[in-house]
Amino acid sequence: MPKHILNGYRIIDLTHVLAGPSATRLMAEMDAEVIKVEFPPTGDIARLLPTLKNGRSAYYVQQNRGKLSLSLNIKSSEGKKILTKLIKSADVLIENFAPGVIGRLGFSWDVVKEINPSIVMCSLSAFGQEGELSALPGFDYIAQAYSGIMGMIGEKEGAPSFPMAGIGDVMTGVHAFGAIGYALLHREKTGEGQFIDVSLLDCYTHCHEINVAVYSMSEPKTIPTRSGSHHYAVCPLGLFKGKNKYICIIALQMQWASLCKVLERQELENDVRFADNDKRVENAATLIDIIQDWIDSQPDDETVIRALEKERVPCAPVLNIAEVVNHPHLVERGTIRKVQDPKVGEVEMPGMPLRFSSFEHNQELVAAHLGEHNEKVLRDVGYSSEEIEFFKAENTIFSNSNT
């Protein structure tokens, strides 16, 4: 009985750090054979990122559980031959080098499709494979700045703020993961492989809900801007200061009467200053003060949250990381899960975000040390023990059990 949907699929994973590894991590959780190809002698630089314990990075563990590690020098001619054999045997090839690098290594899509016409190849990058920005070095925040998303976060009069989390890389990985799934579906029916170009810039820009159209349709041209902790076009929608934490409160038209009831200010419901969302935005400062005063008058944050919940006014405490990790709902659902690692020990991590009714959620998987599966992988594509010994001696393959 296969453990999950991708049982029997072989993924050659030339990615590093975050966006690419996020995509192939989901595939590993779905039982694919992900062969992570890492350059000697360091491998994926995520192996050096904090927090480390017993020589192993939890960052690496989080993104690479369940993958096989092949540490291969693909700059050498022997390494290229081995990679060619792997590509011939695989369903998917994925890479996130800077655009052009994979071609200079000898594995552009034109070459790869000659080696294996039914393979799905996916390249991830900051700006896409082509265009004037494509040659620039890029990270999550760089693409976030160019997409206009960064400019939409932070106080209006101050510098933008950016999320201390890898949202862009992770969700770009999810875009790639999705695209690869559909390309595999297409291949299942037609036998044809194809190439997929996924970029942080495209994915971030994809997240503009209304900003682009609002600007495009405005006459005269008006530019939507960031507005701190209160929405510029919906009121109330924002953060209020509780005794211990910030509290997010949202009342659209359908929740307005309920909010007035919670505030014990039913007369506001028909107050002309707050007659509809436009009026409430116009008088936002007054309304925000009214809500803040009510919060200040309550004994604690819990009372505030319960009162709003009782009337089904959308609200939430802004949790810190400790509260997230220990929240019963997140723990019971496995949104936060405990992972056992042979070196790091027990550590909490985000759970598998996708829940399929036919398969178990949150598989037990282990991260590999650098080159841990060199022999297994090479044997699988037909190399003999003698050849493997030769590759070792020539430093075509490499391993380090202390990683």
Q: Give the nearest distance from C-beta 164 to its own copies in angstroms.
A: 4
Nearest to 350 by CA among 381, 374, 321: 321
β-partners of residue 123 are: 95, 197
3-state SS assignment for residue 225 = coil
**The amino acid at 369:** H
Q: How far is CA 335 from CA 17, 349, 351, in A?
A: 22, 8, 5
142 vs 378, beta carbon nearer its own copies: 142
Cα–Cα dist 162/41, whole Å: 33
Are 188 and 118 in contact, with CB atoms under 8 Å apart? no
Look at the chain and count its residues: 403
d(CA 318, CA 349): 19
By beta-carbon proximity to its own copies, the closer residue of 57 and 399 is 57
Beta-carbon contacts of 357 under 8 Å, excluding residues fewer than 6 positions away, are: none
CA distances to 54, 295, 304, 314, 318 from 244, in Å: 37, 11, 12, 19, 10
Does 301 qualify as catalytic in the annotation? Answer: no
The 8-class DSSP code of residue 245 comes to S
Which position has the token pair 């319960």?
306
Return the number of the residue (105 or 214) whose C-beta is nearest its own copies. 214
Query: How many other CB atoms sit within 10 Å of the CB of residue 311?
Result: 16
Cβ nearer to its own copies, comparing 65 with 67: 65
Q: Which is nearer to its own copies, 106 or 151 (CB)?
A: 151
Shortest spacing between CB 283 and its own copies, in angstroms: 19
109: its two tokens: 């899509």
Neighbours of 164 (CB within 10 A): 7
Per-residue tokens: 341: 């690692």
To its own copies, the closest distance from the beta carbon of 295 in angstroms equals 13
DSSP 116-142: -TT-EEEEEESS-SSSTTTTS---HHH
Residue number, 216 or 401, with CB nearest to its own copies: 216
User: For residue 81, which amino acid is it?
Assistant: K
The helix (run of H) or strand (run of E) holding residue 214 is helix 211-217
Nearer to its own copies, 75 or 182 (CB): 182
> Residue 7 in 3-state DSSP?
coil
Q: How far is Cα 193 from Cα 201, in angstroms, rounded to an integer?
A: 25
CA torsion sign for 281, 285, 289, 290 is negative
Shortest Cβ distance from residue 261 to its own copies (Å)? 15
Least CB distance from residue 101 to its own copies, whole Å? 13
Annotated active-site residue in 31, 44, 169, 341: 169
| Active centre residues (catalytic) | 169
